[in-house]
Structure 1
């Protein structure tokens, strides 16, 4: 079961990436990257973690645009998948990149403030 879930996560991530690049035309989504997909055990819900690239980009608008397009995206995904029931899509903002950058900045500050021996 775990193998099926992990394989489905990868397939959904690949298909959603293609759908967002080629099919969805909402300019508020902008340059959206799907960083991870996590499907529940019963395959009823898929949590899709996304990041938006661009310094002055409003991520709240991007998430709202994705949530508005959720039905359209799920319909296209259903046509591409060979499973009986397509999971409900939940788009979530992935903050791991920001968190990683913050940690890296703190480590650099520690090393620059360290006395040379």
Structure 2
């Protein structure tokens, strides 16, 4: 098991290398506007999971995923040339769900705001279900002096 700080540094380095290579361009026309968001290494530094996002439609995401899968060997070679490790880790490209999750959270927050406003509106016009003062009061004594 490698040192976690070394794994984090290697992951950052791999992220930079792949992002720089994608910025230079790959000759695959299917590749869209791809952003590398994160890289996670296994404890033995043999495998790197590369998370990415793609700007565009579902079809463009699928095309970009196919282009990245086809370019994995070339990108691994590029990583191997630019890192100082005994072995070059294998690369796995995973579509990052952060944008979809953020949109879902945003819609849930908006729904909660609407429900809170409805509850506030109901509270402004609400009335007590029973008597306004539900507490029992001591009985008044009646004078029976006739």
Do both share a fold (TM > 0.5)?
yes
CA RMSD in angstroms comes to: 1.5
Q: Which runs of 4+ in 1 moved over 3 A?
A: none
Structure-1 residue corresponding to 2:9: 7
Structure-2 residue corresponding to 1:49: 51
Q: Aligned partners of 1:70 and 1:52: how far apart in 2?
A: 17
Count of residues paired in the alignment: 117
Q: Aligned partners of 1:78 and 1:48: how far apart in 2?
A: 15
Structure-2 residue corresponding to 1:30: 32
Matched, 1:105 2:107: yes
Greater length-normalized contact order (CA 8 Å, ≥ 6 residues apart): 1
Deviation at 1:104, TM superposition (A): 0.9
Ranges in structure 1 where 5+ consecutive residues have no aligned partner:
none
Q: 1:84 aligns with which of 71, 74, 86?
A: 86
Ranges in structure 2 where 5+ consecutive residues have no aligned partner:
122-146
Q: Aligned partners of 2:6 and 2:39: how far apart in 1?
A: 13
Q: Aligned partners of 1:57 and 1:16: how far apart in 2?
A: 23
